[in-house]
Each structure stands twice: as structure tokens, then as C-alpha cells.
Amino acid sequence: MKNKKSIFIIAPLLVGIVVIGCSVKAPEVSITGDKTALENQVIGTYQQIEEDVWTLASVRSASPGQQPKMSADKQKVLEAVRGRKFNKDDIDEFLAMGVVGENNRGFLEIHTPEKLDADPELEKRVVTIVENENSYRQIIMNRIMVVNERAADAGEENVSRIFAKLNQDNVAPGSWIQTEQGEWIQKPAVQK
């Protein structure tokens, strides 16, 4: 009988010692911050706008010679998306030459104007394309804020910062990009 009482006393003590001796590790929790969620929404809206524009552009109406009706705003966005596609080769060339860079507000900027001084024709071409491209980007950013309430609530500054990151992510290594702090650096090669 004494042994049974000892077991009832010793067993809970042993269980208590084992439990105290075990370390409890909380699971890792990853929280997606507001900025990341907003980035995903802006990028998703941008991709949706591009897709919608190309769908509108490719629709053939039943009657030959008639285009589908679209608002003036949608027409501007259509022209902006087309213009960006049309300018892409020239912009890639200018980025590779190091005469333009992607700034931290979502726009192209002439980075080394002294490289253009020797060639006025090239300078005129670069200035014209950069102005057109920046106009197209502004139209698209404005449209994102019109169709995405969360982007509109975040404000133009946040949307342009996200747009800048998107543009900077898509340029080749060695291209000039502006950091959030305003410093110009050459985009590093991707680390594997």
C-alpha cells in the first residue's frame, strides 16, 4: 500500500519535471505588412490594366470598320500601354548606355546629360522619349489609383514608390537606379 502511495506522489513529480524540462518553441509567424499587401495590389492592378487594354485593343466588332466604344480615360491608358511597349527598346538602349536611370518616384530621369552633349540628335531623341515615357507612366499610375481604392487611399507618393520598385526590378543589372534615400547606384547583378 505504501508503494502505491509513493507512485501517486512520485508520478506527478516526474511528469512535472519532464514538462518543466521541455522547451516550448513558438511557431514562426510571418506577417505580411501593409506595404507588401499594397505592393501586390498595385502590381496586380497594373497587370489587370495592361490585360484589359490589350483585350480592348484586340476585340473585333461585328461590323467592319467599327471599334468598340471606350471612354476617353481608357483610350488614354490604351495609348500609354502601347506607347510604353513601343518605347521599350529605346529605353533599354538608353539604360545600357547609362544616359538615363530609374528614379525613386517611378519615372525615367536623364542621369548623365554630359554623355549627350556631343550628340544633339541623340539628346533630342532621349529627351523626347523620356518625356513621353514619363507621361505614359503618370497616366497609368493615375488609372491605378482610380480603379484601386486601396491604392488611392495610400496616396500618389506610395503608389509612385511601388511603381519605381517595379520599374527598377525590371531593368538590367548595371542600369542606373535611385535608392529610396536619393542616391544613384548601378543596379547590382543578381546573386545566385
Give 92-116 pLDDT, tens digit per residue: 999 999 999 999 999 999 998 898 9
Instruction: To the nearest 10°, report the CA torsion of 59, 65, 71, 72.
Output: 120
Instruction: Give every CB contact of residue 89 below 8 A, 6+ residues apart in sequence.
Output: none
What are the backbone dihedrals phi and psi of residue 72, each rounded to the nearest 5 degrees, phi first?
Answer: -60, -35
Whether the predicted pLDDT of 126 surpasses 70:
yes
pLDDT band for 59, please (50, 70, 90 cuts).
low
Give the separation between CA 111 and CA 100, rounded to whole angstroms: 5
The answer to whether residues 70 and 78 touch, using CB atoms and an 8 Å cutoff, is: yes
pTM: 0.70
pLDDT band for 62, please (50, 70, 90 cuts).
very low
* Count of Cβ atoms closer than 10 Å to residue 53 Cβ: 21
- Give a three-class secondary structure readout of 54-92: HHHHHCCCCCCCCCCCCCHHHHHHHHHHHHHHHHHHHHH
Residue of 85, 90, 102 lying closest to 174 (CA atoms): 102
What is the Cβ-side half-sphere exposure of residue 44, based on CA atoms within 13 angstroms? 9
Going across the sheet that includes 108-110, the strands are: 108-110, 100-102, 176-178, 184-186
Q: Output Rg (C-alpha) for the chain, integer angstroms.
A: 28
Between 29 and 51, the more confident residue is 51
Q: What's the confidence (pLDDT) of residue 152? A: 85
The percentage of residues in the chain with a pLDDT greater than 70, rounded to a whole number, is 64
Whether the predicted pLDDT of 133 surpasses 70:
yes
